[in-house]
Structure 1
Amino acid sequence: MRRRMIIFLATVACFVSITFHGIEQKVAAATQNDYPIILVHGLAGWDRNEALGYKYWGGFYDIQQTLKQKGYPVYTATVGPFASNWDRAAELYAYIKGGTVDYGAAHAARENHARYGRTYPGIYKQWSDANKIHLVGHSMGGLTIRQLTTMLEDGNAEEQAYYKAHPEQGISPLFAGKKHSIQSVTTIATPNNGTSFAENENVLVPVIRNMVTGMSALSGNALHPIIYDFKLDQFGIKRQPNETLPAYNNRVFKSAIWKTDDISSYDLSVEGVIKNQANLQTKSDVYYFSYTGQATRQTLLTKQEVPMITMFPAFVPASNYMNSFRKTASNGMKIDNTWAANDGLVNVVSSYYPFGVSAKKADANPVKGQWNYYPVKQGWDHLDFIGMGDKLPSVVNTFYLDIVKTVTNLPK
């Protein structure tokens, strides 16, 4: 009996080994590049080790591991959940490449925060022009990866001028530019032209402040707390050892972050994106893809957009606000009825692609320097795209499997 059991287990092990080896061979044979795929979270996102194991990418499931099991080199990056697009791009660079975050001497002086941040070991230290990566960003993560891509190629004139005047202080390679190390950029439910919800600072900023206050008691003192880490060290927003909660909260509210535009709420707004256009360029040597969801429907009588019954309940007030918000932006662009449809946090029209760039419906022949946008996924709200909504895990996993198949089949 024991001998038969050993033979049975050996047979099963052999079958499993052959099966998974076959899958990996199929994946390898079907791809044209083996560049790593980096997932970048949006506003309020968190690290894989936070939230008691509840994943930003997948919730109770794990999108990263599912894709890895299929043979794809997928990694999850972590940046400041409420930081500005600039700060997040600097953090993302250090998180991938390894090293200490350098926000830039000129930027830090202007925004009144520390120049240097945390130090990371790097998830892909060999990253270079020869060893490129694919970037996939959800929500604000899409803006962050667009900014990182632009900075890598163009650098930053202000930081370069500061370095020229103060060579002893050095400059981050990120701001030096002339790097072509991004193969593709994929944005998911990203406000590529800003979101009208973020235009209301009286609503959005207090929400962020209240989150900091309410979550601070759970965050703890460790560098990687098991609940939540706000990662705003550059502004001094970090609970110190033996610091009382009231003292910590008082310091949070007095922080310089609330007195500047160097914060996520501004960078997510329409005006913030307009002001930041120089750092959100479409580069001619990079492939661009975008995915958009819609969780509103048009009523028969009034033709107004209203939230679908399946929309995440907490998004309903924001969705209703966006449905009725109208404005003429500083560049003359009108936020009108075409901006009404949304996924609960992001306007559909804003998610397709940046206004004014070359774009086409996605097909089997993507072109570098041109945005390839996919059909709107009807009934998908902002959280459905990361596996926290009402979509089955198998549906969400298939969605991401299609993304990685697309980018890994791009020619080198």
Structure 2
Amino acid sequence: MTSTDPVPLVIVEGFLSSAGALIWGNFEHHSNYACQTNGERDRRSIFASVGPVSSLHDRACELFFSLVGGIVDYGAKHSHENGHARYGRTYTEGLYPEWSSECPLHFLGHSMGGPTVIKLQWLITNGFFGKQYHPDMILSINTVSAPFRGTQLVYTLGEDTRDAPSVRWFSVGNFLAKGIHVASYLSPVLPHLFDLHVEARGLSFYDSSFASFLKQLWRSDWAESRDATPFDTTFIAVDEREATQEGVVYANTFYRSYCATLNHTYPHSATTRTLTWLQRMLGWPLHATSLAILSFRFSTLRPVPAFLESTFSTKLESTHDGDARLEDGLIDVDDGGAYLLNALRANDGVVPLFSQWHPYDCKNTRCVHFSHAESILDGVTDSEKSRYDESPEAGIWHVHHLENAHHFSIVPVWLGTQSQKAFWMDLGHWLRSIEDGRRRLKDRSSTATPAPTVTLADFGS
């Protein structure tokens, strides 16, 4: 890649998602508009395969080695603590072996793909993959409907509210775990679409006896562990991650989150869109789960999540400021009325709005929240392009709200809607503006007058 080529975009899928380009569709025609209109090459898109039900740690390791190549190393300590082999599959050639601070990458994470990239940057920073790697290898992190701070839906589906990661019998989560084990056991003969990355766990019929398989169906050591996606979406897991500084912003990385809400969960929404029958069909199940999120009783959670404990002091000042203080609305939600509905219950059918913003409370990170009136789903007109005339600021979350949108409205399933086209076109302009700023900064550095060399002779005898 030359210095003028667009920086590639790595796409990281979410929970139970591993179809890649098969369902993501023709988004590149729209995401490359900014490059094409400026006479540049098209941006390369890279689909990185990670375990669709694996923990954030395992997914981040798989993401790293799929890009640079080599044998997936989950780490001796982590593997020992979680009862699986240290090494996973081998990538004889990485998808982007030249990855470095000089040759960085953009990342787009949908759903659990967002926290996966955050985990990756944290592991790189802490030297997990070696001291030669640096967080500046990640030029930007862009997320859609990412559960940075967990979701109450995981409890509704079966996670025990007082004893996570235990899963309730006869719950959706319990039956889902059984299905995952069946797919894992049969993985050698299933198509790539069902790739669960189970090499390190020895769950296939090549590595596991039928008796062991039946034992896992009765009670799953994986699903009811702290090393799987469901536990990582619990509020207690989020507290543990944030306590280790996972999710802090880095000065040279650009951050952007796209946060969706269904209209019936967000009373202030004024956006209406005509939906096709296919969009309505895909959205019906999410309307049901959104109601479960709306009715969830936070008072049943033990231990009490940190975001609930830290909110009482902000209640009085926040409730008088409406949307301007929405990000501070983290208080007694079971009896809080409409204000708290906005704060914790507005959702996209899977993830509450506050969790999609970014890691940490707003007071503990750097962020700017754009109003619904500045929705990127309305398209990028000539007048709106002015927001990309100047380079965006790094080291701060740029939070955009997507009204009347559910968890799958934008990605991964391509339906060719105007909203999807507008999203990808806007993302292309955003990424190009980042690269323009990066090139200008390098040009200034290369043309700067060097400081004069000082020798001992300059001080006289």
Q: TM-score under structure 2 normalisation?
A: 0.67
Contact conserved, 1:33 with 1:409, CA < 8 A, in 2?
A: no
Q: Deviations over 1:239-276 (max 9, x none)?
A: 438976x8645445555323421111111122211111
Q: Determine which of 171, 194, 200 is the counterpart of 1:228.
A: 194
Contact conserved, 1:237 with 1:255, CA < 8 A, in 2?
A: no
Contact conserved, 2:257 with 2:399, CA < 8 A, in 1?
A: yes
Q: Determine which of 124, 127, 150 is the counterpart of 1:155.
A: 127
Residues of 1 paired with 2:393 and 2:124: CA distance? 20
Q: Determine which of 339, 343, 346 is the counterpart of 2:344.
A: 339
Please give the residue correspondences for 1:300-311 in structure 2 after superposition, counting only pairs within 5 Å.
310=280
Structure-2 change in CA distance of 1:123 and 1:208 (3 Å):
farther
Q: Determine which of 419, 431, 440 is the counterpart of 1:395.
A: 419
Aligned with 2:264: secondary structure? strand
Contact conserved, 2:31 with 2:426, CA < 8 A, in 1?
A: no
Establish whether residue 187 from structure 1 lines up as the match of residue 143 from structure 2.
yes
Q: Determine which of 187, 198, 202 is the counterpart of 2:154.
A: 198
Establish whether residue 46 from structure 1 lines up as the match of residue 54 from structure 2.
no
Aligned with 2:142: secondary structure? strand
Structure-2 change in CA distance of 1:115 and 1:183 (3 Å):
same
What amino acid is the match of 1:368?
Answer: A
The alignment's C-alpha RMSD in Å is 3.3
Aligned with 1:123: secondary structure? coil
Give the Å deviation of 1:184.
0.4
Residues of 2 paired with 1:221 and 1:232: CA distance? 8
Give the Å deviation of 1:154.
2.6
Structure 1: 5+ residue runs without aligned partners? 1-27, 157-171, 301-307
Residues of 1 paired with 2:57 and 2:207: CA distance? 29
Q: Aligned residues, how many?
A: 349
Contact conserved, 1:108 with 1:115, CA < 8 A, in 2?
A: yes
Q: For residue 408 of structure 1, what is the aligned residue in structure 2?
A: 432
Residues of 2 paired with 1:81 and 1:185: CA distance? 19
Q: For residue 27 of structure 2, what is the aligned residue in structure 1?
A: 63
Q: Deviations over 1:221-256 (max 9, x none)?
A: 438724412223322232438976x86454455553
Residues of 2 paired with 1:218 and 1:114: CA distance? 19
What amino acid is the match of 1:371?
Answer: W
Contact conserved, 2:141 with 2:253, CA < 8 A, in 1?
A: yes
Aligned with 2:158: secondary structure? helix
Give the Å deviation of 1:407.
1.4
Q: For residue 263 of structure 1, what is the aligned residue in structure 2?
A: 228
What amino acid is the match of 2:113?
Answer: G
Residues of 2 paired with 1:349 and 1:41: CA distance? 21
Structure 2: 5+ residue runs without aligned partners? 37-41, 161-166, 268-274, 311-330, 334-339, 371-386, 439-461
Give the Å deviation of 1:43.
0.7
Q: For residue 35 of structure 1, what is the aligned residue in structure 2?
A: 7
Q: TM-score under structure 1 normalisation?
A: 0.74
Q: For residue 7 of structure 1, what is the aligned residue in structure 2?
A: none
Q: For residue 358 of structure 2, what is the aligned residue in structure 1?
A: 353
Residues of 2 paired with 1:291 and 1:141: CA distance? 13
What amino acid is the match of 1:63?
Answer: F
Q: Deviations over 1:296-319 (max 9, x none)?
A: 42598xxxxxxx994722223321
